[in-house]
Amino acid sequence: MHKVHKSFSDIFIRYFILVLAAVPNFFIFYLVFTPLTIYPVYFIMSLFFNTILIGNVIIINNEIPIELIKACIAGSAYYLLFILNLSTPKINIEKRIKMLLLAFFSLLAFNIFRIVLLSTIFLEGFPIFVLAHQFFWYFISTIFVILIWFSEVKIFKIKETPFYSDFKFLHKHSFLKG
């Protein structure tokens, strides 16, 4: 009975943290990942162009501003990886932290690469910028988040399924089983 009570507590804590992390509007993800995205992008761009950083705007060659808005930071993608991680039961805290760090670092590296590539395409005047931007936004970024999760499942040998395993446990121990 103690093991069942501990599992209920674990579920409550994990989902409480998920809700807390989303309020208000993924604030914690933007607080952490905005500077971790802007400064490396600024640094990389400064290797190739004359750049000035003012807040979240990188000014190239004293004339072309590139504003990194919230959508560029991809807070919702970090939150999705956080959801997948915390909604998966039976992962000890050390493994969970390693998984989160790997997921977040992978997404951060990809996002920095994406922003630098798209900024360069824009600066070079390629007419494909809008198409490339939308392609990354709607397709490549989504695929990358999915690949990160499935890679983690394989690397960390995860046997449980996000949400489903918790629902299955709750159903098994509820008055609804029948």
pLDDT digits (tens, 9 = 90+) for 49-64: 999 999 999 999 999 9
Is 165 a residue whose pLDDT tops 60? yes
For 34-89, give the DSSP string.
HHHHHHHHHHHHHHHS-EEEETTEEEETTTEEEE--HHHHTHHHHHHHHHHHHTS-
pLDDT digits (tens, 9 = 90+) for 123-163: 888 888 888 888 887 888 889 999 999 999 999 999 999 99
Residues 126 and 70 sit within 8 Å (Cβ to Cβ): no
Where do the domains of the chain lie? 2-172
- Measured CA to CA, the distance from residue 73 to residue 75 in angstroms comes to 6
pLDDT in tens, 33-50: 999 999 999 999 999 999
Say which range, 74-78, 82-86, 111-115, 121-125, has the weakest mean pLDDT: 121-125
Phi and psi torsions of 51, nearest 5°: -125, 150
pLDDT of residue 8: 87
Edge-to-edge strand order for the sheet containing 64-67?
51-54, 57-60, 64-67
**Sign (positive/negative) of CA torsion 71, 74, 80, 83?**
negative
pLDDT value for 178: 56
pTM of the model: 0.91
Q: How many C-beta atoms surround the C-beta of residue 109 within 10 A?
A: 11
Confidence of residue 29 (pLDDT cuts 50, 70, 90): very high
User: How far apart are the C-alpha atoms of 162 and 152, rounded to whole Å?
Assistant: 13
Give pLDDT, residue 131: 87
pLDDT of residue 127: 84
pLDDT at 168 over 80: yes
- Largest CA-CA distance found in the chain, in angstroms, rounded: 70
pLDDT of amino acid 177: 62
